[in-house]
């Protein structure tokens, strides 16, 4: 049991209802508002939330500059990933990193990949297809990993569909995936596999998986034991089913909060019971029909195949729009009035969620794909199954000045009271409780998300 879960178990409080459930599923949801954990320990960066919030990433470690888009060699992302010890990969280049050999696995713990440091349009991962065309981001057999503001767009198919997710998390703990934009995988866009725990997947866009395995998120597959996982503030769009797939053993703490699920074909959220019965809190989500959503589609389904026990479903303030079955009648048999575990976050109302996500979800700045996607969601348009657009390499943009090579923009350092002539990322000169490097990343993220000019 993680520390977070202990705290959550000790100090639950009942928050006031923030809005009434909406849509025709109203009477089918839980009767009592969610219980939210109090005094949850802060993570290493502001905005670290969920069951993975305690991930250290590379906090306190070396700042390693990625200076080339090349697959490997000095200054490559692969080289930073394969280093050992606490480390932060910062980017002095922008554009597409196309792995031509098998993409690197993150197996050494204590790493942060800080995509928001990249100049211009940021960093996109892809592969070159063929036998090496495999999942571009794999976190395997490790712990304390944070990946933020990275796009994953495999625009060329590899030979093996089964090893071609967008992101795979396998046998790992304390992982945060935040502000990713993932598309065009031929297996799941994001997939948890085997024995994971303390995972957060937040503020990301998972869109346009490749048919006929166009699936958003397989949150757990073949779990060995209970897992704690948070899926918060994400958009799943243009994926036929598994939006998301929820199949955890009893005693797991799984929360799916404030996500937008758009244009599923057959199933949106799937509650499975083949690992003994999933406990799940589905709170403040929005389920929107799109052009591919057929009338027999289901918003929240209880998947009875190979069931080995009853799940527990806590549903609150989920909103639905469109002509499909919003909540399957069978879900009523496993509905509970208290979340199986206290939520780690205070949910937003589902009303207005799209407006919020428009300014938060995905890798910033949005690329052409995400910009178009957001327009499609606004207009309830777009389709499943369009071919990937070949990635175009971006023009190089000069990075911010960082003469002391501590990852922080020297001009920001001067403004903030840090020393632009010494390596001081882990100081806390403003005494706000967060390392100044994290303050820098937060300030930079805000600048980029606002659309302001930046290097
Ligand atoms: Ca997979
Ligand atoms: Ca600096
Ligand atoms: Ca400095
Ligand atoms: Ca600080």
Tell me phi and psi for residue 241, to 5 degrees: -155, -170
Give the distance (Å) from ligand 1 centre to CA of residue 454. 36
Let me know if residue 385 belongs to a domain: no
Asked whether residue 24 carries a pLDDT value surpassing 60, the answer given is no
Give the distance (Å) from ligand 3 centre to CA of residue 60. 14
Same domain, 34 and 92: yes
The answer to whether the beta carbons of residues 265 and 236 sit under 8 Å apart is: no
Same domain, 255 and 185: yes
The ligand that comes nearest to the alpha carbon of residue 217 is 1
Same domain, 434 and 364: no
Q: How many domains is the chain built from? A: 2
Q: What sign for the dihedral angle of Cα 83, 89, 93, 95?
A: positive
Let me know if residue 203 belongs to a domain: yes
Q: 205 pLDDT band (50/70/90 cuts)?
A: very high
The ligand that comes nearest to the alpha carbon of residue 440 is 4
Q: What is the DSSP letter of 26?
A: G
The ligand that comes nearest to the alpha carbon of residue 409 is 2
Let me know if residue 147 belongs to a domain: yes
The answer to whether the beta carbons of residues 173 and 195 sit under 8 Å apart is: no
224's enclosing H/E stretch is none
User: Which residue, among 6, 9, 22, has the nearest Cα to 322 in the 3D structure?
Assistant: 22
Same domain, 103 and 174: yes
pLDDT at 22: 45
Give the distance (Å) from ligand 2 centre to CA of residue 364. 22
Same domain, 146 and 269: yes
The ligand that comes nearest to the alpha carbon of residue 419 is 3
Structure tokens at 12: 């639950």
CATH number for the domain that contains residue 22: 2.160.20.10
Concatenated DSSP letters for 276-321?
S--EEEEES-EEE--TT--TT-EEEEEE-TT--S--EEEEES-EEE
Give the distance (Å) from ligand 4 centre to CA of residue 446. 16
The ligand that comes nearest to the alpha carbon of residue 435 is 4
The answer to whether the beta carbons of residues 96 and 445 sit under 8 Å apart is: no
Q: 25 pLDDT band (50/70/90 cuts)?
A: low
Same domain, 268 and 324: yes
Same domain, 371 and 443: no
Give the Å distances, CA to CA, from 18 to 15, 123, 126, 317: 8, 37, 41, 9
40's enclosing H/E stretch is none
Give the Å distances, CA to CA, from 215 to 204, 236, 238, 243: 15, 9, 9, 7
pLDDT at 325: 97
Give the distance (Å) from ligand 4 centre to CA of residue 400. 20
Same domain, 427 and 351: no
Q: In whole angstroms, give the CA distance from residue 141 to residue 108.
A: 8
Q: In whole angstroms, give the CA distance from residue 394 to residue 113.
A: 20
Q: Dihedral, CA atoms, 101, 168, 268, 344, nearest 10 degrees? A: -140
Give the distance (Å) from ligand 4 centre to CA of residue 78. 29
pLDDT at 23: 47
The ligand that comes nearest to the alpha carbon of residue 424 is 3
Structure tokens at 142: 């490790």
pLDDT tens profile 372-395? 999 999 999 999 999 999 999 999
Buried b (16+ CB within 10 A) or exposed e, 34-45: bbbbeebeebbb
Domain carrying residue 125: 3-379
Asked whether residue 114 carries a pLDDT value surpassing 70, the answer given is yes
* Per-residue 3-state assignment (H helix, E strand, C coil) for 103-161: CCEECCCCEEEEHHHCCCCCEEEEECCECCCCCCEEEECCEEEEEECCEECCCCCECCH
Give the distance (Å) from ligand 2 centre to CA of residue 398. 15
Give the distance (Å) from ligand 1 centre to CA of residue 40. 32
User: Which pTM was predicted?
Assistant: 0.94
∠ CA 387-393-399 to the nearest 5 degrees?
Answer: 135
Give the distance (Å) from ligand 2 centre to CA of residue 405. 5
The answer to whether the beta carbons of residues 287 and 326 sit under 8 Å apart is: yes
Asked whether residue 371 carries a pLDDT value surpassing 60, the answer given is yes
Asked whether residue 82 carries a pLDDT value surpassing 80, the answer given is yes
* Residue linked to tokens 């069951």: 51
Give the distance (Å) from ligand 3 centre to CA of residue 47. 23
Give the distance (Å) from ligand 1 centre to CA of residue 197. 17
* Residue linked to tokens 């697959």: 71
Give the distance (Å) from ligand 2 centre to CA of residue 414. 9
Same domain, 428 and 303: no
Domain end point (choices 361, 379, 397) = 379
Domain end point (choices 340, 357, 379) = 379
* Percent of the chain scoring above 70 in pLDDT: 94
pLDDT at 41: 80
Let me know if residue 29 belongs to a domain: yes
pLDDT at 42: 85
Give the distance (Å) from ligand 2 centre to CA of residue 416. 11
Give the distance (Å) from ligand 3 centre to CA of residue 384. 47
Q: What mean pLDDT, rounded, does the chain reach?
A: 94
The ligand that comes nearest to the alpha carbon of residue 165 is 1
Mean pLDDT confidence for 106-119? 98
pLDDT tens profile 40-68? 888 999 999 999 999 999 999 999 999 99
pLDDT at 26: 57
The ligand that comes nearest to the alpha carbon of residue 408 is 2
pLDDT at 123: 98
Domain end point (choices 334, 359, 379) = 379
Q: In whole angstroms, give the CA distance from residue 292 to residue 348.
A: 28
pLDDT tens profile 246-262? 999 999 999 999 999 99
Q: In whole angstroms, give the CA distance from residue 144 to residue 200.
A: 11
The ligand that comes nearest to the alpha carbon of residue 403 is 2
Give the distance (Å) from ligand 3 centre to CA of residue 83. 23
The ligand that comes nearest to the alpha carbon of residue 429 is 4
Give the distance (Å) from ligand 4 centre to CA of residue 418. 10
Same domain, 298 and 177: yes
Give the distance (Å) from ligand 1 centre to CA of residue 329. 29
The answer to whether the beta carbons of residues 140 and 164 sit under 8 Å apart is: no
Let me know if residue 397 belongs to a domain: no
The answer to whether the beta carbons of residues 296 and 7 sit under 8 Å apart is: no
Q: Which residues pair with 182 in a beta bridge?
A: 152, 206
Same domain, 189 and 307: yes
Same domain, 308 and 415: no
Let me know if residue 403 belongs to a domain: no
User: Which residue, among 122, 126, 127, 156, has the nearest Cα to 394 in the 3D structure?
Assistant: 122
Three-state secondary-structure class, residue 312:
strand
Let me know if residue 201 belongs to a domain: yes
């Amino acid at each position: 049991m993680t520390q977070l879960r202990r705290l959550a178990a000790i100090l639950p409080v009942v928050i006031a209802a923030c809005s009434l459930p909406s849509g025709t599923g109203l009477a089918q949801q839980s009767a009592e508002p969610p219980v939210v954990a109090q005094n949850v320990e802060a993570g290493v960066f502001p905005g670290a939330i969920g069951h993975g919030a305690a991930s250290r990433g590379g906090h306190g470690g070396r700042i390693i500059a990625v200076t080339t888009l090349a697959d490997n060699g000095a200054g490559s992302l692969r080289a930073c990933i394969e280093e050992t010890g606490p480390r932060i990969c910062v980017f002095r280049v922008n554009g597409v990193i196309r792995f031509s050999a098998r993409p690197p696995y993150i197996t050494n713990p204590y790493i942060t990949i800080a995509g928001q440091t990249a100049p211009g349009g940021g960093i996109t991962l892809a592969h070159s297809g063929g036998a090496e065309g495999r999942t571009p981001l794999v976190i395997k057999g490790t712990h304390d990993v944070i990946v933020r503001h990275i796009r994953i767009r495999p625009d060329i198919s590899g030979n093996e569909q089964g090893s071609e997710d967008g992101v795979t998390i396998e046998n790992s703990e304390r992982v945060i995936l935040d502000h990713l934009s993932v598309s065009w995988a031929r297996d799941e866009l994001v997939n948890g596999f085997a024995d994971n725990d303390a995972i957060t997947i937040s503020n990301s866009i998972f869109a346009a998986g490749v048919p006929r395995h166009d699936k958003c998120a397989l949150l757990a597959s073949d779990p060995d034991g209970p897992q704690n996982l948070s899926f918060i503030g994400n958009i799943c769009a243009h994926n036929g089913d598994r939006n998301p797939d929820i199949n955890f053993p009893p005693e797991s703490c799984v929360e799916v909060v404030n996500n937008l699920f758009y244009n599923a074909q057959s199933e949106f959220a799937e509650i499975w019971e083949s690992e003994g019965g999933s406990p799940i809190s589905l709170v403040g989500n929005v389920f929107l029909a799109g052009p591919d959503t057929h009338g027999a589609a289901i918003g929240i389904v209880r998947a009875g195949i190979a069931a080995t026990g009853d799940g527990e479903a806590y549903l609150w303030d989920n909103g639905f729009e469109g002509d499909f079955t919003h909540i399957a009648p069978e879900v009523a048999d496993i509905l509970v009035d208290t979340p199986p575990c206290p939520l780690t976050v205070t949910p937003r109302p589902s009303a207005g969620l799209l407006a919020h996500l428009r300014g938060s979800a995905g890798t910033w700045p949005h690329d052409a794909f995400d910009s178009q996607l957001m327009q499609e969601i606004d207009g309830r348009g777009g389709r499943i199954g369009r071919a990937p657009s070949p990635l175009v390499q971006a023009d190089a943009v000069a990075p911010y000045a960082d003469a002391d090579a501590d990852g922080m923009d020297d001009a920001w350092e001067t403004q903030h009271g840090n020393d632009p002539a010494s390596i001081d990322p882990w100081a806390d000169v403003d005494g706000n409780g967060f390392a100044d490097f994290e303050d820098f990343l937060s300030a930079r993220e805000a600048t980029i998300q606002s659309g302001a000019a930046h290097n």
